Amino acid sequence: MTTLWHLWIGLAVVSLRVGSIQGGQLRRVWMQDHCQNGICSDINIDRSDYVIMSQSAVEKQIALTFVNSSIAKIPHLMFDTFPNLQILHMDNCSVEAFEKPQFEGASNLMTLSLGHNLLKDIPKNIFLGADNLSVLRLHYNQLETLHNNSFQALKELKELSLEGNRLEHLPMGVFVPLRKITDINLARNRFSALPRGIFDMNANLTRISLAGNLFKAFKSELYKFQERIAFLDISDNIFQDLTISIPDLDTLVANNCDMRKLTVNGIIKELELRNNSLRDLPHITYASNVTSLDLSVNPLAALQGNPFRRYTELVRLNLSSTGLHDLDEGIFKKQNHLETLDISSNSLFTLKFTIFDGLKKLQYFYFQQNNWNCDFLQLLMNSFVKRRDISFMEDSVAPELVDDYIDGMACWYENNPQSTQCGSGRDGSSYNNAAMEVAIVRNDIDQMMQTLEKKFIKVFRMLEDIKLRL
């Protein structure tokens, strides 16, 4: 036998539960019957079990992954048996608790993933011995409490995930030992505020997720020692009037926040603001640095003049489901770098072709699910989309509701039989009033449904909050 797991490594789980011992005999489960090539399955270890590890170490094993197993505790001598273990995955294994000294001999361990388990506490100093741990994932456990010394000794840690737990508060010094941390995920807990100075000792922090908590205000001063934040996610909170004052921010994600107003003081490159209540564009101090702007599912309705004139470096712009009935002639006049434009799911009937004059670099154009006039749509396809070989998406509309399809895009003809062209001139500027009224009605219904959905989400969050407090 040549494989490691066909050697008699002597790794046994010995059950000492009083109710299961008969005549002094012990139940043994040999690991070589359950493990192959670093994947271990169908292993059961209760909290009352005493785990005996091999007397001879398995030197070459650097990664272990447990699947379809129930392991209430990590065996004490795991890292004596596998002294070179670098990666340990024990996700969804029903791990309930840590027991000291849990990580003695774990100096080579670099990644530890314990997601989707039953952990309720991170004891003080529990990670002593895991001096070189770089990635620690504790997502979707039942953590309610952390201590100032919960992460003591993790001086090399760069990524920490506490997503999906039950944390309401953080002790002031809990992240102090993590001087090299770059990524902290606190999403989907029960935070409504964070202590002042909580990230003061984490100068290398570049990725932060606070999504899905109970924040109603954002404190930019918490990040005053971070020279550059590459990614900040504050989605699924309630920020009606949001101000971000961070000097250098790459990406801000603030979806589903019921936000009415956004102000960004500082350099920012990418904004994702989907499904909010914005009626105006955000005020960005250095708008010329923005390369990506997602305003989809916001009640913008009308964009007059050239609202994007300061966004001169835009590469991606999403205006899907914003209630647009029309677009002014000069709306994209300054967008010479735009590669992706999405105006889908609106109530657009026709456009002036001069809108597209400056879009020389456009590669992806999404304009499905509108109320396009068939004559205009044919002209748009032939003289712009297909001529420049621009990618687009086809429509999906019930056939009985559509007059025709142009290259897979749904469209409707004007009611006026004398009008066979989409407009009086090349730009298609005049169109049928009745069709416009239909477009407005469709849009109003769509906006009403979006408003009801937002109210439902808000009520659902309130009920969840009440449930958590009870």
Q: 316 lies in which domain range?
A: 300-414
Residue 1, token pair as written in the block: 């036998």
Instruction: Give a yes or no: residue 114 inside a domain.
Output: no
Instruction: Give a yes or no: residue 337 inside a domain.
Output: yes
pLDDT at 203: 96
Q: Are 77 and 51 in contact (CB under 8 A)?
A: yes
Measured CA distances, 113 to 89, 181, 266 (Å): 5, 16, 36
Q: Are 166 and 144 in contact (CB under 8 A)?
A: yes
- Which residue type is seen at 463? L
N-term to C-term CA, the chain: 58
Instruction: Give a yes or no: residue 387 inside a domain.
Output: yes
User: Which of 118, 8, 121, 4 minimizes the C-alpha distance to 64?
Assistant: 4
Domain count, the chain: 1
Q: Where are the beta strands (DSSP E) in 44-131?
A: 44-45, 50-52, 63-67, 70-71, 87-89, 111-113
Higher-scoring residue by pLDDT: 457, 211: 211
Classify 42 as helix, strand or coil: coil
Instruction: Give a yes or no: residue 405 inside a domain.
Output: yes
Q: Is the pLDDT score of 354 beyond 80?
A: yes
CA distance 8 to 30: 9
CA distance 264 to 127: 39
pLDDT digits (tens, 9 = 90+) for 212-224: 999 999 999 999 9
Q: Is the pLDDT score of 35 beyond 70?
A: yes
Instruction: Give a yes or no: residue 396 inside a domain.
Output: yes
96-122 residues labelled b (16+ CB within 10 A) or e (exposed): bbbeeebbebbebbbbbbbbbbebebb
The enclosing domain of 373 has a CATH number of: 3.80.10.10
Q: Is the pLDDT score of 171 beyond 90?
A: yes
CA distance 450 to 448: 5
Give percent above pLDDT 70 in the chain.
80
φ and ψ at 448, to 5 degrees? -60, -40
Q: Kind of pairing, strands 87-89 and 111-113?
A: parallel
User: Which of 365, 389, 380, 369 minimizes the C-alpha distance to 428?
Assistant: 380
Instruction: Give a yes or no: residue 400 inside a domain.
Output: yes
Q: Is the peptide bond before 282 cis (omega within 30 degrees of 0)?
A: no
Rounded to an integer, the average pLDDT of 322-351 is 94
Higher-scoring residue by pLDDT: 420, 263: 263
Rounded to an integer, the average pLDDT of 374-386 is 94
Residue 329, token pair as written in the block: 């002639």
pLDDT at 76: 73
pLDDT at 51: 64
Instruction: Give a yes or no: residue 351 inside a domain.
Output: yes
Instruction: Give a yes or no: residue 436 inside a domain.
Output: no
pLDDT digits (tens, 9 = 90+) for 66-87: 998 898 888 777 888 889 999 9
Tell me the average pLDDT of the chain: 84
